[in-house]
Amino acid sequence: MNVSHAPIASLSAPNEQAERALAALWTRPPGLLGWLCSTNHKDIGRRYVVTAFIFFGMAGLLAAAMRIQLAFPENHFLGPDLYNQFFTVHGTTMMFLFAVPIMEGFALYFVPLMVGTRNAAFPRLNAFGYYAYLGGGLLLWGGFLVNAGADAGWFAYTPLSGPDFSPGHRVDIWADMITLTEISALSGAVVVLATVFKQRAPGMSLNRIPLFVWAQVVTSFMIIFAMPAVMVVTAFLAMDRLAHVNTHFFNPAEGGDALLYQHLFWFFGHPEVYIIFIPATGMVSMIVETFSGRRLFGYPVMVLSLIATAFIGFGLWVHHMFATPIPLLGRSFFSAASMMIAIPSGIQIFCWIVTLWTGRPRLRVPLLFVCGFILLFVLGGLTGVMLASVPLDLQMHDTYFVVAHFHYVLIGGAVFPLFGAFYYWFPKWTGRMLNDSLGKWNFWTLFLGFNLTFFPMHILGLHGMTRRIYTYVAETGWGDLNLLATVGAGIIALSVLLFIVNAVTALRDGIFAVANPWLAPSLEWSTNSPPPAYNFYNLPSVSDAEPLWHSPEQKPVVVGLSTEKREVLNTTIMDAVPEHRYELATDSIWPLALGIVVTLTMTFVVFTPWAVPWGMFFSLLVLYAWFWRGNEPKFIVEAAKPKPQVAAQPTLVAPA
Amino acid sequence: MSAAEFQSALNPAASESAHIAHLWWIFFWVTLVIFALVAVFLFIAILRNLRRVPDDPERAIIPEPAQATESRATKVVSALVVITVLILFALLIGDFFTGNAIYATPDPKALAIKVTGHQWWWEVQYQDPQPSEIVTTANEIHVPVGKAVKLELQSTDVIHSFWVPNINGKKDLVPGHPTTTWFTARRAGEFRGQCAEYCGEQHAHMRMVFVAEPPDAFSNWLSAQKKPAPEPSSDSQRRGREVFLASQCVMCHTIQGTKARATLGPDLTHIGARKMIAAGELPNTRGYLAGWILNAPALKPGVRMPPNQMSADDLNALLDYLESLK
């Protein structure tokens, strides 16, 4: 047993000169321009996380305004027009601009570190993905600030969102910003998959991948299968609405079908929930493992549970449509499928509790958030089982019971793990520790505020309070519990403020973080906090799933990667056997340029279909520049013919 | 509990809602026990081995968990998974039987009521083989206790959802997909329903009054509704009718027995007998009715009914007339 807080010496630079040479190769160019050109996964991951957190704050302020409006019956704080924009922009922002991107941000920052490589695959695509995401966010909020905020709900059901019932450009902006954020999600998913499948440290076979990385792999596959559905459905909606195009996909008067929209939307919309939740389970697994001080119990079933969740997650979209006129037989099938998804989630809960039970838990702030997660997620999961039942769903569907349910699974199931993840990885990310006692205050206020806000909503829903109403008449008697919920929302706001205070003060004068402050087992903790631009001077090799707990100094390291070009080591998909060196693209301004062109295209397509051909033309121009002058990456296989198995270089070298 | 019982899924007044409430309590107790067990075991798991000296490497990490512990844990988790599956299966069976009960084959002699969703009010039509016997009203549904009722649901604009929690689960009114739902009220009472699918600016104020009453009371109500509007019985009421027929009211509303025959807005033939106006937003009192006529958009922003300008005398006469339409 030689777990230590220090960085692993065999992975670090032998001397300062060598360090500086490699840092110069991997560090982005200086200045603002250099920052905009950066293709380093840590820069991009950090951008996603910070931007998504800002959107979280803004959408949270909208929620606070809605809670004020609903605190009393017939309140006049927000009118219906404004309220409908608020809840639509709140939901859209939380789903598309906060939850998915922040998970992707964590993935892009930590996956390369966890698998032991120097940068994510396809670095320019990665940089472009962020700019497309930012463009989508600016489009939605720009529209909102000029009174063109989407107001048809985050699901934008037709025909309400169609040209006849939503004139103006509010829904067009919504439909087009979705496309931008999905381009971004797809880019991130491709980058994560390529990084995990081809750039793992030698020896990191599929059964030794940290569970956070597995969660991100599963999520990325889900993104690739789910996001096209929403891009298609929003594109159809935009075409139905766009002057001079005027299709009738969803117009019942012309043979279109309003239910077609719902099928397409929820085929994306239900997996979306798991796209948010599965990465959170990855975070939970990492935190539970570290703070139990033992390897995670049931690693293989945990992985299989993630995969099963992903598969079943695509088979239950119809439970969002139980109240629509669809055949009965289908309902029974989707009811059973919806209950079935409780099984893999249950297995994960059991394994986490067993890990804690048989380990030596240290109740630090990240683990505190994980405990909160388990309680809230189990509660939200159990109300989910209720909603899977058709008769119960017919009563609870579209009421505040559902609002309570999905905030339990999304805030309890994803935001609590996210806060835990912030406390856990903040030291690695910034080199500073967050304050422990502020962290405990942060946790307890969030836990209290959350339950005060959302628990009463179960009761309100059972007593008939429907969703998406800007006010209610006094005779309903919903006033008291709504007031309680509003008080709870105030406590949540206070809690988030505490977190921001904690982060800002820690950045300025927090305690410096050592390489491995929590004695964690995974590779991201083997390098300095924060990691150098190149992550590892010598790439690690691994022989088990908890590399830092099993004599990391004794393991062979990879040497021989170029110090002149940005090379990474490619390994095989299954067993991570070294294959060849691979040169990554350099920093470039063209991802930003393409991001701007695509954003402008999707902005102008709100007004005219001509934006599409012009946008394609300019995109082609930019892509031409993107690939100009042999900038494209090269494979370097220095192995004997006929077919390279393992590269002659780089080599695994036993430490001196 | 402060929430009103007249709009509650847990206070059933029909066979269907009673079946669902029964199923709810089964699910509630089962899930409550599961939640309590998870919480207890989580607390024990944390507390039984809690390390007070947090970051001592020698004591914090178990490099290789004991084989005996692992195999015991495997057995426990396997058993828990089996139990989970069994519980879910049992719940699924309960769900299946409740589903069968509420989707039972309908009574062919059921009372048929056609409900059409509009932005933002409910058009209600009591069907009859004789066209002249069809009753049209709005935002208020009366049904007889003990008799099966068949609702024929449709929408001509956007998606709405018909929901009276005390009676049955909700059913969406999707344009292009007319549908039906059935229920049998089991006790008398006055309840509230509300549109449950977001349908635009005034989704919040798309409510209805639902009255389940003894069969005698119901047939009295229905036969009163079948009559055309009563003739004015005073000068003021007569003047009120003239005001109505001479104003833009007739562009949207019907009063049977007069020339007002438009169908864009609610049928007003028996407006005086209704309990609420503005789709369940306001009580049907003289004051609210006056405010509604003069400036409906102020009370319900976005409503299709425009403001009306009229003299105080005209307004009083109009109110006298409308209140007489029992």
The amino acid occupying position A328 is L
The burial of A639, by beta-carbon neighbours within 10 Å (0-12 exposed, 13-18 middle, 19 or more buried), is given as middle
pLDDT, position B52: 64
Assess whether the region B1-52+105-224 and the region B235-323 belong to the same CATH fold: yes
CB contact under 8 A, A476 and B192: yes
- Predicted local distance difference test score (pLDDT) of residue B21: 96
Nearest residue in A to B162, CA atom: A323
Helices (H), B155-234: 215-226
pLDDT mean over B166-172: 95
Look at residue A560 and tell me whether its pLDDT is greater than 70: yes
- What are the tens digits of pLDDT across the range A222-256? 999 999 999 999 999 999 999 889 999 999 888 89
Are B161 and A323 a contacting pair at CB < 8 A?
yes
In chain A, which residues have their Cβ closer than 8 Å to the Cβ of B78? none
Question: If you measure CA to CA, which chain B residue comes closest to A467?
Answer: B196
d(C-alpha A45, C-alpha A237), whole Å: 32
Q: Is pLDDT of A414 > 80? A: yes
Chain B partners within 8 Å of A478 (Cβ): 3
- At residue A74, the 3 state secondary structure works out as coil
pLDDT of res. A641: 36
The partner residues of B126 in beta bridges, in order of sequence, read B113, B135
**In this model, does residue B209 exceed pLDDT 90?**
yes
Q: Region B317-325: what's the mean pLDDT?
A: 96
Strand pairing category for B207-213 and B189-194: antiparallel
For residue A396, pLDDT beyond 70: yes
pLDDT at A330 > cutoff 90: no
* pLDDT-above-90 percentage for chain A: 84
Burial class (CB within 10 angstroms; exposed 0-12, middle 13-18, buried 19+) of B79:
exposed
Q: What is the pLDDT of residue B107?
A: 81
pLDDT more than 70, % of chain B: 96
- Cβ-defined contact of B34 to A468 (cutoff 8 Å): no
In 3D, which of B162, B174, B181, B161 has the Cα closest to residue A261? B174
* Each residue's pLDDT tens digit, B7-32: 999 999 999 999 999 999 999 999 99
* Nearest Cβ partner for B35 among A79, A353, A378: A378
Q: Residue B144: which H helix or E strand, with range?
A: strand B140-144
Q: Flag if A466 and B195 touch (Cβ within 8 Å).
A: yes
Please indicate whether, in this complex, the C-beta atoms of B301 and A390 are within 8 angstroms of each other. no
User: What global pTM score does this model have?
Assistant: 0.94
State residue B248's pLDDT score: 93
- In the sheet with A557-559, reading across from the earlier edge strand, the strands are A539-540, A557-559, A651-653
Q: Would you state the pLDDT for residue A29?
A: 87
Contact between A486 and A68 under an 8 Å Cβ cutoff? The reply is yes
Instruction: Please give, rounded to a whole number of angstroms, the shortest distance from the CA of A475 to a CA of chain B.
Output: 7
Structure tokens at A189: 């998913």
Contact yes or no for B23 and A346 at CB 8 A = no
Mutation site for A-interface testing, chosen from B76, B102, B155, B159 by largest number of A Cβ within 10 Å: B159
Sheet holding A578-583, edge to edge: A567-571, A578-583, A635-636
Instruction: Tell me the CATH architecture of domain B235-323.
Output: Sandwich (2.60)
Number of H helices, E strands in chain B: 7, 12
- Cβ-proximal residues to A356 (8 Å cutoff; 6+ apart), any chain: A288, A292, B42, B45, B46
Residue A630 pLDDT: 61
Choose the most confident range, by mean pLDDT, from A9-18, A483-492, A632-641: A483-492
Q: Which of A209-223, A436-450, A637-651, B109-123 has the lowest mean pLDDT?
A: A637-651
The one-letter amino acid code at B228 reads P
Interface size between A and B, measured as CB pairs under 8 A: 294
- Per-residue pLDDT band for B65 (boundaries 50, 70, 90) equals confident
Interface ipTM > 0.85: yes
Length of chain B counted residue by residue: 326
Model pLDDT, residue A401: 97
For A160, the closest of B9, B44, B200 (CB atoms) is B200
Confidence of residue A333 (pLDDT cuts 50, 70, 90): confident
How is domain B1-52+105-224 classified at the architecture level of CATH?
Answer: Sandwich (2.60)
Residues in chain A: 656
User: How many Å apart are CA A90 and CA A98, to the nearest integer?
Assistant: 10
User: Residue B198 and residue B201: Cα distance in Å, rounded?
Assistant: 9
Q: C-alpha angle A597/A598/A603, rounded to 5°?
A: 100
- The average confidence (pLDDT) of chain B is 93
pLDDT at A645: 38
CB contact set of B13 (below 8 Å; sequence gap of 6+): B166, B167, B185, B186, B187, B189, B191, B212
Q: Categorize the per-residue pLDDT at B54 as very low, low, confident or very high, splitting at 50, 70 and 90.
A: low
A367 residue type, one letter: L
pLDDT at B158 over 90: yes
- For the stretch B280-320, pLDDT in tens is 999 999 999 999 999 999 999 999 999 999 999 999 999 99
Lowest-confidence segment of A284-293, A329-338, B206-215, B254-263 by average pLDDT: A329-338
- How confident is the model at residue A627, as a pLDDT? 85
Among A66-70, A134-138, B126-130, the minimum mean pLDDT is found in: B126-130
Residue from A583, A592, A595 nearest A631 by CA: A583
Q: What is the pLDDT of residue A647?
A: 42
The pLDDT of A389-405, averaged and rounded, is 96
Please indicate whether, in this complex, the C-beta atoms of B3 and A463 are within 8 angstroms of each other. Answer: yes
For A606, other C-beta atoms within 10 Å of its C-beta total: 22
Give the model's pLDDT for residue A638.
46
Q: Does A597 score more than 80 pLDDT?
A: yes
Question: Over 50: is that where the pLDDT of A646 sits?
Answer: no
Domain boundaries, chain B: 1-52+105-224, 235-323
Distance CA B123, CA B265 (A): 9
Cα separations (Å) of A109 from A49, A105, A148, A524, B100?
9, 6, 34, 10, 51
Give B8-74 as a 3 state SS string: CCCCCCEHHHHHHHHHHHHHHHHHHHHHHHHHHHHHHHHHHCCCCCCCCHHHHCCCCCCHHHHHHHH
Short-list A416, A422, A410, A430, CA closest to A371: A416
How many whole angstroms separate alpha carbon A271 and alpha carbon A220?
11
User: Quick one: pLDDT band at residue A631, thresholds 50, 70, 90?
Assistant: low
Helix residue ranges, H only, B130-233: 215-226
pLDDT of residue A2: 64
- Give the closest-approach CA distance of A158 to chain B in angstroms: 7
